[in-house]
């Protein structure tokens, strides 16, 4: 029998994607692998990101006999998917910023992309904009600080509202009507983002679309134990572990590339 669905991210952001996949495929087993020792990915060089991610994901996908790999990290997805697909024989799915649906939804034809600095500067991102939002004004907002705020929030720490407002102020002043959440961390604090930006800005992310893609690729129903295991590269706080327990996780492991 095939192994779990392996969902990978730098931190807790991929939980937003995992939630959507579980809605589509509730009978599957899941492993959530996150490389929190190197968080945030937006600050890494391209070579550091590629080398570390490919080694970590490949090793644990093979160790677990995973049925599919979901790279639930926008920054990593812009760089590592081709090499992963060369090295693995199972499907590999990445996340793509929701530029196309945002351009279709925007009445003002003025949209924003909120992502890590790495995602914002990639040629991959600009190609998406050119292909799907050529009729829109697209503003890019790069931040790693918001990733860290989301991490703290999910670990049951209070959000620094002043810092959040400082990050979001340029977006509020931009007059966009649709904001693409181009990092899987950001849906975790979507309510707080929406509260600041107001009802005039619609937030979009890729979680549901990714889940539908995974369901399509895993067309055969899988009767697992519905087990959720979490693997991480740096010891996690008790607050984060409590949150993961609330999500249904029961198996926790500190791992390296070679474990």
The model's pLDDT over 29-49, given as tens digits with 9 standing for 90+, comes to 999 999 999 988 877 899 999
Residue at 159 is within a domain: yes
Determine whether 183 is an active site residue: yes
Query: Residue 223: pLDDT above 70?
Result: no
- Whether residue 153 is predicted with pLDDT greater than 90 in this model: the reply is yes
Are 88 and 167 part of one and the same domain? no
The band of 183, judged by pLDDT with boundaries at 50, 70 and 90, is: very high
pTM over 0.95: no
Q: How many domains would you assign to the chain?
A: 2
Q: Which of 184, 205, 226 is the last residue of a domain?
A: 205
Whether 212 is covered by a domain: the verdict is yes
Length of the chain: 259
**Angle of CA points 39, 60, 41, to nearest 5°:** 15
Q: Is 136 a catalytic residue?
A: no
User: Quick one: pLDDT at residue 40?
Assistant: 86
Q: Point out the catalytic residue in the list 31, 53, 183, 231.
A: 183
Question: In this structure, what CATH number is given to the domain that contains residue 178?
Answer: 3.40.50.1860
Q: Which of 31, 73, 136, 231 is catalytic?
A: 73
What is the arithmetic mean of pLDDT over 158-165?
95
Residue predicted with more confidence, 225 or 94:
94
Helix 161-172 to helix 190-197 angle (10° resolution) is: 60
pLDDT at 259 over 70: no
Question: Which is it for strands 30-34 and 92-94: parallel, antiparallel or unpaired?
Answer: unpaired
β-bridge partners, 140: 113
Instruction: For residue 157, give its domain range.
Output: 99-205
């Amino acid at each position: 029998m095939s192994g779990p669905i392996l969902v990978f991210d730098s931190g807790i952001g991929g939980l937003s994607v995992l939630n959507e996949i579980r809605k589509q495929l509730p009978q599957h087993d899941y492993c959530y692998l996150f490389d929190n020792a190197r968080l945030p990915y937006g600050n890494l060089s391209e070579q550091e990101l590629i080398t570390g991610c490919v080694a970590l994901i490949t090793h644990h996908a093979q160790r677990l006999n995973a049925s599919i790999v979901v790279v639930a990290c926008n920054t990593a997805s812009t760089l590592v998917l081709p090499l992963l697909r060369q090295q693995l024989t199972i499907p590999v799915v990445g996340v793509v910023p929701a530029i196309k649906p945002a351009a279709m939804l925007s009445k003002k034809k003025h949209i924003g992309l909120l992502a890590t600095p790495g995602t914002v500067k990639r040629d991959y991102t600009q190609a998406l904009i050119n292909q799907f939002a050529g009729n829109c004004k697209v503003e890019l907002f790069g931040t790693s600080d918001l990733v860290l705020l989301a991490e703290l929030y999910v670990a049951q720490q209070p959000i620094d509202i002043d810092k959040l407002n400082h990050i979001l102020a340029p977006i509020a002043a931009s007059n966009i009507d649709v904001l693409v959440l181009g990092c899987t961390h950001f849906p975790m604090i979507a309510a707080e983002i929406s509260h600041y930006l107001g009802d005039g800005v619609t937030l979009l992310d890729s979680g549901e679309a990714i889940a539908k893609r995974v369901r399509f690729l895993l067309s055969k129903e899988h009767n697992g134990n519905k087990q959720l295991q979490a693997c991480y590269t740096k010891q996690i706080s008790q607050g984060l572990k409590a949150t993961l327990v609330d999500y249904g996780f029961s198996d926790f492991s500190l791992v390296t590339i070679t474990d």
